[in-house]
Chains A and B, each alone.
Chain A
Amino acid sequence: MAKQDLEQLIQGRDLNELVAEFRAKTTGQHSPALQRLINRIRSEPMTGKLALLCTKPHEEWRLVQMNGRGKPMTLLDGIFHDLNDAEWAIFKLRMKRHFDIDLQD
């Protein structure tokens, strides 16, 4: 996705602030610009979608890539013990995938 699309999504807000907002609270009500941004990057089709597979109930989640209806998912590197950390990892990967932006922890 082109950089100008990102500008359209965040409409003048400081991207670093939005990233910090997401890192601090991944779920629930977000600021309008952050919500627009995550709506856009979460609109991935099922084929190629990043998701999580729960490997131990309420304890462990594995990063996966969906490969479409009926097709086995691909297990990726990335094991998490906190859903917020997992959300953050997916967010970073999508910022790279969609906008070629590298985010650091």
Chain B
Amino acid sequence: MLKITGYADRVSAMPGDAVRFMINCEYPAYQASVVRVVQGDTAPEAPPVKLVPVPTSIDGRYPGRPQVIHAGSFGRVDCERGFAGVSSLSLQAMIFPTTPQKGRQAILSKWDEAAGRGIAMIVAADGSLGIEISDGTTRKTLSVGKPMLSRHWYFAAVSYDAATGALQVHQEPQHDFPTIDDRGSASDTVPAGLSWQSAAPLLFAANWGGEDLGRTVGRALYNGKIDRPRVSGASLSLADMQELRGDLWSERLGGSLIGAWDFSRDIPGIRMDDISGREHHGVVVNMPTRGVTGHNFTGEDGMCWKDRPTQWSAIHFHDDDIYDAGWQVDFSLTIPEGMKSGIYAVRIEAEGEEQFVTFVVRPPRGKPGSKLAFLFPLATYMAYANEHFGTNDGLVELHLNRALVLHPHQQFLNEHREYGHSLYDLHSDGSGVCYSSRLRPVLNLRPKVEANHGAGPSHLWLFNADTHITSWLENFDQDYDVITDEDLHAEGHGLLRDYQTVVTATHPEYYTKEMYDAVHRYTHGGGRLIYLGGNGFYWRIAYHATQPGIIEVRRSEGGSRAWEPPTGEYYHSFTGEYGGMWRRQGNRSPNHLVGVGFTAQGFDQSSPYRRAPGADDARAAFILEGIEDEILGDFGLTGGGAAGMELDRHDVSVGSPPHSLVIASSGPHTEAHVFVVEDMLFNFMGATGDVCDKVRADLVFFETPQGGAVFSVGSIAYSGALPWNNFDNNISKLTLNVLRRFMDPTPFPMPTS
């Protein structure tokens, strides 16, 4: 099991920037150094691993120390003055529990877990609503005793009367079902004047487990939604608490309110606004999901939270949400002036174990160091961060059509769920993960790592597969800058403007509007884009406006997707933008941008391309210059062919420019390569690679305005063919032909009709 993990506070840095590294190391000491990552594939069939040592100020030996992650989201309100002199209390909310049978879970609490003291409205161990109260000596839990249904709304309310010692619990389902007995109340008595007051802050969806190195620790974490929580400094009747369910209440009830929180405010942010007038505002911790439907969602008043925010006044908390691991800094690297732009990693070594933390050195803003840029798809790496494909869903083996091979980091992540999930995973309550942060160790963003999805012999996916491209560039002495799409999101077209050519990675799948528009403006302003991958520019995503390093996806409406958002949750909470495939976003399909779009996927074996009629067009002569072969790429490190894994097809009806040329097409593919669901409105047979001619990768070229051009390969496996036979093969030669012409500033003339 891994004993070293780590992350950096930023992935992209330019000379002068400081990058802070946080390391968890269970060994007494470790050695740290920096390498420039050129080739990270350890397969014997691949060129030798090339990690170039780069002496820096961080080189040295450091003491190891364990660092832990406190996962689980909750809301925190610091309002001690609001509780001053309060002895009777009422807690209430509309709740939508998603794991009522999980065990004790706090919904609203002022409870110190370590001291065993406080008061809390809970999902009790029996799955019903309860109240828990303790002065540290006398402890009482009272529950309704009728388990709540998962994924149904309930009015939940509890109270303690300090004058009489009376406890009340009320559990009212929003919908009654025959055969389901889940409505009820319970009452009991504990000593009057029980001193439940504690140092705990008011928390939503957790009990207070203390503070650990600046991080609030949540315990008894709740899974599910909370809507319209209210806290009153009095023991209210059931009728009074029912009145407080809404958004308006009498002055009499307002007088006893300590807080009433409206989660429909600041959905894109982290605030939880108190609308009681007491100004007891709070914040969310570990990024629970916002922009989710509340108990009063109708579906009749719009489907976006911006249409009628009051119907989205809920937050979905998960016991495995994680945003910022918040580790202590172990060392910091200030990027030296003149440090070459490229992909780097800090290498941590101890007692035979090795770990990497990957980062990028970009050129100073406005001062490219090369005319060629490699566009590092950080957003997509984040989308796949710590994926659990191999350990969550048994059907993965049918996806791969080969045995499931797990790697040590996946074994670790399966047991260390606090490291958080990828955008492909489900939370522990079965809901889709729609946020992913890079402020935690990302164990699949490093050289030498293998994955489930990439076929043999290399078995690479995303970052490490992308080092086939960087090693190919360096083999042919191509100087290049490395820039990240996160910077592209922030800076737009200006980041690309001065490059003659931009080369993508193997799978640049996740794009914000800003990223998409910047690439589009680049290709339409004379820029040259080489898209060396498959299934690119597919999902729309959003970045958070105030919290760095976190992205959101809402897998709306269709597409090849790991989960489906609930009705009413198709819009990003971070921006209010409609989520889903770019293809559904109006003239922004990948085909519009790069001439091809996702058409099939399969992960067992790849296939070659064959020349297509476009190869004979004089406009494409430079591409196949010196290549006589009919078959292109019947070899490779990813499945033994240049076309495989995820494939894109040229299709004018989906947006491919009519003047684009198809130079080559792949196939036939294996039966495991299956036509995408977004093109399959009815299920039909004959949709697999052995029989369906739409299961193919098209290699496409087209000219763009102002002398620009785009070359697309439409296959994730393509880059695995580049290093084959020591980079001496027809795919490598073809790609080099394209790169050399693209680096020539001579404008591409637009073809005439």
Report Cα–Cα, A20/B217, bound state, in Å: 57
Tell me the number of A-to-B contacts counted with CB atoms below 8 Å: 91
Q: Which of A11-19, A38-46, A96-104 contacts B (4 or more CB under 8 A)?
A: A38-46
Q: If the complex has contacts A26-B402, A45-B394, A49-B404, are A54 and B417 also in contact, measured as CB distance less than 8 A?
A: no
Name the A residues within 8 Å of B401 (CB-CB): 27-28
CB distance from B360 to the nearest CB of A (A): 25
Q: Which of A43, A45, A58 contacts B42 (CB 8 A)?
A: A58
Q: Report how far A13 CA is from B408 CA in the complex, Å.
A: 40
Looking at A47, A49, A50, A61, the one whose CB has the most chain B CB atoms below 10 A away is A49
Query: How long is the Cα–Cα vector from A66 to B401 in the complex, in angstroms?
Result: 18
Known: A46-B394, A58-B43, A70-B414. A53 touches B406 (CB 8 A): yes
The answer, yes or no, to whether B576 is at the interface (CB within 8 Å) is no
CB of A15 to closest CB in B, whole Å: 20
Of A42, A49, A71, chain B has the most CB atoms within 10 Å of the CB of A42
Q: Which of B680-723 contact A (CB under 8 A)?
A: 690
**A52 is contacted by which of B404, B417, B605 (Cβ under 8 Å)?**
B404
Provide the residues of chain B in CB contact with A45, threshold 8 Å. 394
> Closest chain A residue to B45 by CB distance?
A58
Using CB atoms, name the residue of chain B closest to A55. Answer: B408
| Nearest opposing residue in chain B for A88, CB measure | B403
- On whether the beta carbons of B456 and A83 are closer than 8 Å, the reply is yes
- In whole angstroms, what is the CA distance A87 to B44 when docked? 20
> Known contacts being A29-B690, A44-B394, A57-B450, is A51 close to B411, with CB within 8 Å?
no
B138 an interface residue at 8 Å Cβ cutoff?
Answer: no
State which of B181-189, B385-393, B508-516 sits at the interface with chain A: B385-393
Residues of chain B within 8 A of A35, CB atoms compared:
671
Please state if A73 and B671 are interface contacts (CB–CB under 8 Å): no
Q: Besides A53-B406, A73-B411, 11 other CB < 8 A contacts?
A: A26-B402, A27-B402, A42-B397, A43-B398, A50-B403, A51-B405, A52-B406, A58-B42, A66-B391, A70-B414, A72-B415
Asked if B73 is at the interface (CB within 8 A of a chain A CB), the reply is no
Query: What is the minimal beta-carbon distance from B4 to any residue of chain A, in angstroms?
Result: 17
Least Cβ distance of B427 to chain A in Å?
Answer: 11
List the A side residues contacting B405 at CB < 8 Å. Answer: 51-54, 61, 83
Quick one: closest B residue to A58, CB to CB?
A: B43
Q: Is the CB of A46 within 8 A of B392?
A: yes
Q: List 7 A-B contacts (CB under 8 A).
A: A27-B402, A51-B405, A53-B405, A54-B408, A69-B428, A70-B414, A86-B403
A35 vs B398: C-alpha distance when bound (angstroms)? 10
**Complex alpha-carbon distance, A50 and B406, angstroms:** 11
Is B395 among interface residues, defined by CB-CB distance under 8 A? yes
For A57, the closest partner residue in chain B by CB is: B42
Bound-state CA distance A86–B403 (Å) is 8
Q: Which of B404, B411, B605 has the most CB of A within 10 A?
A: B404
B398 proximity list for chain A (CB < 8 A): 39, 42-43
Contact yes or no, A43 B605, CB < 8 A? no
Q: Does B136 contact A (CB under 8 A)?
A: no
Shortest Cβ distance from B44 into A: residue: A58
Binding site for B on A (CB under 8 A): 26-30, 35, 39, 42-47, 49-54, 57-58, 61, 64, 66, 69-73, 83, 86-87, 90
> Quick check: A27 and B456 within 8 Å, CB to CB?
yes
Q: Which of A27, A43, A64, A73 contacts B395 (CB 8 A)?
A: A43
Q: Which of B138-184 contact A (CB under 8 A)?
A: none
Q: Do A73 and B404 contact each other (CB < 8 Å), given the known contacts A39-B398, A58-B42, A58-B43?
A: no
With A43-B398, A46-B392, A83-B403 as known contacts, state yes or no: A57 contacts B671, CB within 8 Å.
Answer: no
For the complex, is B369 an interface residue (Cβ under 8 Å from A)?
no
Q: Interface readout for B717-732 with A: 1 if CB under 8 Å, 0 if not? A: 0000000000000000
B417 touches A90 (CB 8 A): no
Asked if B656 CB lies within 8 Å of chain A CBs, one says: no
User: CB distance A29 to B394 under 8 Å?
Assistant: no
A57 to B457, CA, bound (A): 11
Looking at the assembled complex, report how far the CB atom of B318 sits from the nearest CB atom of chain A, in whole angstroms.
14
Query: Do A51 and B604 have beta carbons less than 8 Å apart?
Result: no
Instruction: Tell me how far the C-beta of B137 lies from the nearest C-beta in chain A, rounded to whole angstroms.
Output: 36
Measured CB to CB, the nearest residue on chain B to A61 is: B405
The complex places the Cα of A9 from the Cα of B396 at a distance, in Å, of: 21
Q: Do the beta carbons of B406 and A51 come within 8 Å of each other?
A: yes
Is B407 in contact with chain A by the CB < 8 A criterion?
yes
Chain A residues positioned under 8 Å from B456 (CB to CB) = 27, 83
Indicate if B5 sits at the interface (CB-CB under 8 A).
no
Roughly how many angstroms separate A46 CA and B584 CA in the complex, as a whole number? 34
Interchain CB contact under 8 A, A70 and B415: yes
Give every chain B residue within 8 A of A52 (Cβ-Cβ): 403-406
- Asked whether any CB of chain A lies closer than 8 Å to the CB of B448, the reply is yes
- Complex interface: chain B residues within 8 A of A61 (CB): 405
Contact A27 B604 (CB under 8 A): yes
Q: Could you mark each residue 594-627 of chain B with 1 if its beta carbon is under 8 Å from any beta carbon of chain A, else 0?
A: 0000000000110000000000000000000000
Residues B424-473 near A (CB distance < 8 A):
428, 448, 450, 455-457
Whole-angstrom CA separation of A36 from B448 in the bound complex: 35
Is A29 a contact of B42 with CB atoms below 8 Å?
no
Measured CB to CB, the closest approach of chain B to A52, in angstroms, equals: 5
| B670 interface residue per 8 A CB criterion | yes
Contacting residue for B402 out of A39, A57, A69, A87, CB 8 A: A87
Residues of A within 8 A of B428 (CB): 69-70
Asked if B605 and A28 make an inter-chain contact with CB atoms under 8 angstroms apart, the answer reads yes
How far is the CB of A65 from the nearest CB of chain B, in Å? 11
